[in-house]
Amino acid sequence: MRSSQPLAGLAAVLLVLSGVPAALAQPVAQAQTLTIGVDYADPANQQPDQHRFFEYIDFFPRSVNVHSGDTLNFRVAPGAFHVIGLAPSDSDGRAAYPVGGLDTEDPVMAVGTGLPKIQLGPGNFSVTGGSTTGGGSIGTSPEGPPVCGAVQLNQPACAFTGGHDVELAGPLAGFDPQAGQPVAVDWKIAINAPAGTYSYLCWIHPRMTGHVTVVGADQAATTQAEIDSQSAAQFAAERDQALAMEQSLQAPVFSGGAPGRRTYEVTVGTETSDGYVQLNEMLPQTLQIARGDSVDFAWRSANEVHTVSFPAEDPRLNAPFGYDCGTTFQSPPQGPPTGGQAFQPCLEPGQQAPELIGDPGTSPSGTALTDPTQLVDAGLLVGTGYGFGQTTQHWSVTTTSATQSGTYQYECTVHEGMHGVLQIGTGPAVQQPAAQVPATK
């Protein structure tokens, strides 16, 4: 083995000639790209055909360390839907570009709740060059693609510069737009920010946030291997909590006495105790009730939105989001334009631009069911985590002696496959519930 002394001497000479002290000479770290999971693929518990879907409103992992110049690749899981971006902090980002709020200036209330309609805000769109005081270039369509960072569209990475910068990808759906099949999609953003800690978040899910810390060049950044290991453990723990929660809500729950005088409860989506997993399903999925019984639908997810709409998959149903025409609601058409006519959103009287709102519903709480083809729609109800103020998490239907026996199918129009069934018959013919537990609200 040859001596390394001649090579060491040459290196010392070169350093002296260059004017760089040997003690300060450090290798320059190459910029890296780290992939962060947005939601999680869980085929065993994401089964729309069986009317159950675990949605992980979480980042995998929730924190990373990077060097300035590194890139974050946010990979949205197949079938997921999120609006992600970066801000100095979670609260700063949401305050500058709110996802929505109550339309308190409109005297026309939502039919389903009797409360103000839910108005969508800029947090549903793409934002480039934004700041904690607003501004920037804001997208106009909730279905529009990102203007940068979309890997599948061969777009260059977006950039986050720290300070007061706020950048949103806009809607990211884990689907192949051509085939309509669930696939992972990627959004990249370069972290060109000074040392400090910043937030990455999903604007449409209040609980969903993480942190990126820019560290100095002499400090270690997170590796992809560390991310993968942490994410697997994080997912396993969250899945187990969700399975336990789902099992606890399978048995029918009611208050009251004999069949025909009961009030049953159906959970319209729920979440784990830490809020990281949404169980997008009706629990229990099927209820057998007698004429005269009522059903109270309870929205138990603080960080999600749902509807209850009868009958399931009926083309007459409102879309979950559309345009406020004043006293009416306009659902956007599905599919490409027909007859060569482009879709024209309506305008609320006195307004200059279309106003996107949540489905206001067609039926107030307590509506009596008459037959399985009857159109009954609660409209969009939001969880308490959104902080909108005057909202409700309950809506109900009743049955009477005039209610036809039969199968009443309903759905949440926001989440594909989130269906439930009411089997309505006469008292003696109704199967008794597996558990008779006093209902709680």
Three-class DSSP category at 322: strand
Strand 294-298 with 263-271, pairing? parallel
Give the burial string for 257-286 (b: 16+ CB within 10 Å, else e): eebbebbbbbbbbbbbeebbbbbbbbbbee
The answer on 201 and 250 residing in a single domain is no
Is there a domain that residue 439 lies in? no
CB 265 within 8 A of CB 296: yes
pLDDT at 2: 34
The answer to whether 414 and 319 are in contact (CB under 8 A) is no
10-residue mean pLDDT series, the chain (441 residues): 34 33 49 98 97 98 98 98 98 98 96 98 96 95 86 96 98 88 96 98 98 97 98 98 97 95 98 97 97 97 98 96 96 73 88 95 98 98 96 97 97 96 71 47 38
Give the predicted TM-score (pTM) of the model: 0.89
Q: Please give the pLDDT value at position 21.
A: 41
Query: What is the rounded CA–CA span in Å between residue 265 and residue 408?
Result: 16
Residues 220 and 321 in one domain: no
Residue 430, pLDDT score: 44
Please count the structural domains in the chain: 2
Please identify, among 231, 253, 279, the residue that sits at the C-terminal boundary of a domain. 231
What is the pLDDT at residue 220?
A: 97
Residue whose C-alpha is closest to residue 35's, from 316, 242, 224, 258: 224
**Both structure tokens of 187:** 């959004």
Residues 251 and 146 both lie in one domain: no
Closest-CA residue to 278 (of 75, 62, 45, 121): 45
Residue 50 sits in a domain whose CATH number is 2.60.40.420
Would you say residue 6 lies in a domain? Answer: no
Which pLDDT score is estimated for 200? 98
pLDDT value, residue 269: 97
CB 138 within 8 A of CB 132: no
My answer on whether 193 and 259 are in the same domain is no
Token pair, residue 354, equals 């279309």
Residue 10 belongs to a domain: no
Q: In which order are the strands placed within the sheet that holds 185-191?
A: 59-60, 33-38, 71-76, 185-191, 158-160
Neighbouring C-beta atoms of residue 106, cutoff 10 Å: 17
Does 216 share its domain with 272?
A: no
Give dist(CA 176, CA 114) in Å, integer.
Answer: 38
Determine the Cα angle at 318 with ends 317 and 322, to 5°. Answer: 165
Same-domain check for residues 46 and 192: yes
Residue 398: what pLDDT? 98
Residue 440 confidence (pLDDT): 43
Q: Is residue 360 part of a domain?
A: yes
CA distance readout (Å), 395 to 69, 175, 392: 50, 32, 8
Q: Does 210 lie in the same domain as 350?
A: no
412 shares a domain with 303: yes
Q: Is residue 338 part of a domain?
A: no
Same domain, 274 and 214: no
From the list 158, 150, 146, the residue with the least C-alpha distance to 193 is 158
User: Can you give the C-alpha Rg of the chain in angstroms?
Assistant: 26
Domain limits for position 309 = 244-331+344-429
User: What integer pLDDT is reported at residue 426 of this predicted model?
Assistant: 54
Residues 154, 283 share a domain: no
Q: Is there a single domain that holds both residue 254 and residue 326?
A: yes
Name which of 83, 87, 184, 93 is nearest 141 in CA terms.
Answer: 83
Helix (H, G, I), strand (E, B) or coil at 197: strand
Measuring CA to CA, which residue among 296, 295, 291, 264 is closest to residue 399?
291
Does 250 lie in the same domain as 179? no
